[in-house]
Chains A and B, each alone.
Chain A
Amino acid sequence: MLNKMNFKKNRNQLEGYSPSLEETSPSVPDALFNKCPECGRVTLSAELSESLLVCPKCGCHIRIPARKRLLALCDEDSFEEWDASVYSKDPLDFPGYAVKLKSSRLKSRETSAVITGRGKIAGMDCALFAMEGQFMMGSMGSAVGEKVTRVFERALEQRLPVIGFTVSGGARMQEGILSLMQMAKTSGAVKRHSDAGLLYVTVLTNPTTGGVTASFAMEGDIILAEPGALVGFAGPRVIEQTMRQKLPKGFQSAEFLMEKGFLDGVVPRTEMKEKLTTILRLHKGGSSYGSV
């Protein structure tokens, strides 16, 4: 399979990269090497997988499949998936949507653009969701909205904190107004969970934009982001069109948002588990001083 060495220049997308922790369909060839989209360094796929797809040379955070991320984050064998059977329909009979859904399922090997469930992090129970960038750019339609809503509703019932990883191009245009309604629906569920005194941590990854930014991505009690992640409401191209000027370098990057006060931290992927563990530990059950 050496012939499948991939030299795509496509940013944050190593085609042919095969997540080692999930079932792989035999039709998808494994690449033995991967090339960093930023610096061009060629790394053994196994080594890159070990470093959670962070380039060992330049530190570029290559997009990681949602399932791999969750399995790497949770204690071994602790992740239990929820609502894996929820899938998107085509309520508006939107041109090309059915085909796009099909190809996204094949490409991502997932049934929707978000994976949800519960698991343990350093022994601590939490509810989790991770969006899948290979599934229509992690866009939010009814299926994503429903699954994310259920995460918060179930976490509320089971009194669990929620940790969520976002990557999204925004609302899913192909479901029309129904996709917009998912912003309100998910926000309502986040609010109820929050009002019950439960913790919600979001981790924004590259890119997080549009309707997801303007709903549950920005609603965390604590908001972290991966280095270099693009985070915004409007996409850079739209802003450039509006302003009729080029955007300065680094505009809407995680580091930029940090400076503007919209993030609690920019955390490299390789240190994320440790950071989340500490945060979870610090929020375990109320005040030790008694009722304050």
Chain B
Amino acid sequence: MDPYKRLQLARKNGRPSGRFYIENILTDFVELHGDRRYADDPAIMAGVGLLSGHPVTVIAHEKGGDIRDKAHRNFGSANPEGYRKALRQMKLAEKFGRPVLCIVDTAGAFAGMGAEERGQGQAIAENLMEMMTLKVPVVSVFVGEGGSGGALALAVADEVWMLENAVYSVISPEGCASILWKDASKVKEACSCLKMTAEDLLEMGVIEKVIPETQPETLCETLKAQLDMAFSALSAMTPEERCEKRYARFRRLGVFGE
């Protein structure tokens, strides 16, 4: 399928976002709120639940359901407090020794005045650093859009998976088109250039797994089973081994000459 079609699917109104997966993969979910510094950011949902009976921390972008909910959640574009809320949950996971599941679905970190004032760059940077040495297993699943640093701030993980029609890119194709061709309507071309589909990223070794998109119920069952397996396997390693492997995972990424 052409990359532009995938982008449209990834952004499609009504496509399940974070909350749907939390509700359908976990049981006994307790939502936890706030960053303890400034506010609670509804663009990111977080808490603890059971995955096949095991407690896990879950951190998810949520774009919102109806238009009111979408506005409330800022369409899944988090402010710095969202990333700090996520980090707070990761630290709790580390304290209580439970794995972290991140569900990514965002067009990107919010580019607002308040976000800048409160250190959007600093908040993301801190997550990147802290996630790299987080002592518990981390798996990130991209379920829709994966926009740049705002997505990466929940994706410094032991394994990164993408749903078949999810996308992950350093810049929105619109942004790319307007910089490259001074023409934001050349989104189609930009989509192909950026290599942003799950297929492309698997080929580049940026992700571990592409999850086929079946009916939502079966998809959640598949995810649940695969996550359960992944967390079991990751838990068999020591924290040092996991961190070493996580570092190596990102260390090898990049193409350059010498």
Contacts and interface: CB of A to CB of B under 8 A. Distances in A.
Contacts of A96: 180
Given A171-B170, A190-B129, A233 B149 contact: yes
A191 B193 contact: no
Contact of A178 (B130, B132, B254): B254
B129 A176 contact: no
A176 B195 contact: yes
Interface stretch (A16-24, A32-40, A84-92, A102-110): A84-92
B256 A173 contact: no
B204 A178 contact: yes
B129 A233 contact: no
Q: Interface on chain A toward B: helix, strand, loop, or mixed SS?
A: helix
Given A96-B180, A211-B170, A218-B121, A87 B256 contact: yes
A89 B250 contact: no
Contact of A142 (B169, B176, B196, B254): B254
B113 A239 contact: yes
B152 interface: yes
Contact of A179 (B112, B170, B251): B170
Contacts of A142: 253-256
A149 B133 contact: no
Contact of A191 (B129, B176, B194, B251): B129
Nearest to A92: B195
A125 B133 CA distance: 28
Interface residues of A, number: 59
A88 B253 contact: no
A8 B113 CA distance: 31
A187 B121 contact: no
B159 to A, nearest CB: 14
Nearest to A208: B121
A243 B113 contact: yes
B116 interface: yes
Given A146-B254, A177-B169, A238-B111, 13 more contacts: A92-B193, A96-B180, A141-B254, A143-B254, A143-B257, A173-B180, A176-B194, A177-B170, A180-B170, A181-B206, A215-B125, A217-B125, A233-B120
11 contacts: A89-B255, A173-B180, A176-B169, A184-B250, A191-B132, A219-B126, A233-B111, A234-B120, A238-B111, A251-B113, A252-B116
Interface of B: 109-113, 115-122, 124-126, 128-130, 132-133, 148-149, 152-153, 155-156, 168-171, 176, 179-180, 193-196, 201, 204, 206, 246-247, 250-251, 253-258
